[in-house]
Structure 1
Amino acid sequence: MQEQLVMNQSIAGTNSPLQRRLAGRREQEVSFSAERSDAPLVQVGPADPCDHGFKSHENSGSLRALNSSEEAKLKKLMSKVIDYIVSPEFDKEDAESNIFQDVEEITRPDISWYRPLMDDGTTGKPGSVKMPAKKASAVLTLAQERVLFLKFNYARFRQRLIQDELDGRLPSLKQKHELLKWNAVSENYRRQIAETNLALVLAMAKRVRLSDVDFADLISEGNMALMRSVDKFDCERGFKFSTYSCRAILKAFSRQGMKDTRYRKRFPAEYDPSMERSDHLETLRRNHEQECAQEVKHIVINNEADLTSIELSVLELRFGVTSEKSSESEENTPKRALTLEQVGQIIGVTKERVRQIQNKSLKKIRLMLEDPTNSERKAQRQATAN
């Protein structure tokens, strides 16, 4: 009784509807705990929106443990304060039954037209996109929109009640299931409202003239603005949702256009990895190496450096360069380059002697390449070839 007296005093000092509802629920729990009876207590839950596919549990004994995906979703829900749009309907005693059961059910729209339309319009311009037929896009009345938004915000309101009741404490298993249930309800109606108004984004995209903005980016930004409008729209003000969301979508298009304009000023050309680094010097070096190799081959084949027969044999065996004399005299010339030791075994000398012969022959070729008259002979050969 002492606890009940303190609770009554705290209730008298509350002002907001949310605080009054929380205090009333705590007072009811205290009175239940003070009551003794031999018969088991049956907890009667609120009128859940069972007709909408969301099942409630009558007692905590029938609750199952959450799986890993549900625990992760619950952790995400508890990490932020759930916001909602206040309505006087939420403070009534039979608010849940009035909002969910005593109203006409609104059928979900058919959005099968949306995906093919987006696939056809991603390569075109906003003005070339054809709007869907009226029968393919459901248009809600003001009363129907109010019904959907009341359901959506009441589901968020119930989640906020549980969050405020916890006040930083860990939720019980029943509270976890309640949070997940009302989150599923709110997400269901949020999706239904957005699907019903998908055509608004296309209608606004036809009105703007942003040739520099990609059509897919424009539609994506408009869809994000539409979802934000669903979260912030107040149906109690008496306006239709399109009045509020169309201006938000146009503002989002304008921001996207300014963002793309700033980007193109900083980056006038598209990024091309092949043009990021110039390979001009590397190409010149590679071409120079090929020209030098061809020149060395010409000197060896024509023996312009006055190489001896043993020097020609060493170069042939070591580097695979064949002169005219050796190609005519020897038919079984190895194709691959041999080591110093292998060359020494073939010509009958040590590998050190083979190294000396190789260095001497390469020195003759280097002197021939550095000879000023060699460039003149090279120019004459190129002129003759042309």
Structure 2
Amino acid sequence: MYAGICYILYNQKSRPLEYVRFGGCILGRKEQIFGSQMNCLLERAKKQKNVVELQEIRDVFQNSPLTQAQLERIIAYLEEQKIDVLTMPDINADDIEDDVGEIDSLNDMDVFQKPDRIGNVQVTAEIEKGYEKTAEESENSFTERGNAEDPVRMYLKEIGRIPLLSSEEEIELAKRMEEGDEEAKKKLSEANLRLTVSIAKRYSGRGMQFLDLIQEGNLGLIKAVEKFDYRKGYKFSTYATWWIRQSITRAIADQARTIRIPVHMVETMNRVNRTSRRLLQEYGREPTPEEIAEAMNLPVERVLEISKISQEPVSLETPIGEEEDSHLGDFIQDEHIPVPADEAAHTLLREQLEKVMDTLSEREQKVLALRFGLEDGKPHTLEEVGREFQVTRERIRQIEAKALRKLRHPTRSRKLRDFLEE
């Protein structure tokens, strides 16, 4: 099964991940190592309710560093196997401007960890404390702004009627869920809808509507309900925060841009931006691509490529001017369309050339047309033209030379000389 995977990892020209069985093919040593590492990764995911973190993938393959393309193929394969890959693309204070307070106190953590591995008890406590606070204030904060859409206010009022759960109630519902109680799943999800709102509002203004962010966050909340293990000892809100953020950030990466950028490339772009801002503070000026590349231990070409990818597309229909009666596309020259003056000159030249060619014999016209590509734009060799007329290449050369001598005669060349001088 893993023969195809290992082969594809080392065959960069192959199509995106396809699960081809290679039968009795003999794998090289590196491919055998990859097969063993994939086995280890799948076993780890199976023990974790079909969940694996992006960092865990990198840890498994730390002795065989993955390229970006290989990492994306592995993630695609895991998702095909119904294994959730938890990717949190650089969620930190640098990337989320003005994110302060309650849940965003987590942003100082550089590496994503599941809550059962978090050693910082204060961080966990702040999540739970922040959730209690935002659960009470979520509706008021949007109502006070006065610019919320009616559907948003209606949704906030609706979820505000649902009471919060205590730790004991969460454990009781989790036990019922293990027994297959669907009503318990629904109750646990609905009781934490305000948590999704409190997290989603941190991502507003990133190319997606607020209700869409809530919708995506709720999908992560549902996933958290399915994966929650009360035996680990942390509150559900602590655990669900990661899934909600994962779902929202992935949706932003997939949907917010006109041209989709992979989640892992977004992560790299965020690192470049963060490094650029840090160097800006150190130097007091905009850092050069060379300085950013040195700080990140990347090639300069890679930094320039990332900077180019991060540019936002601009619509050709963007209004221009105070009255907005013009569009950006009106001021952009199409380099593939000839300048009108040049087009007119070429048209006149073609007409004169046709008149001059008419003074030649039909055979001479045909030979020149084929040799210089006047018919199809593709010049033909003497041998190709000879096959067309069923004569030798030497005979074609003689016909061509004779026809050109005729065209050089002053009576004919005078009509074309003015165009050549231009």
TM over 0.5: no
- Structure with the greater alpha carbon radius of gyration: 1
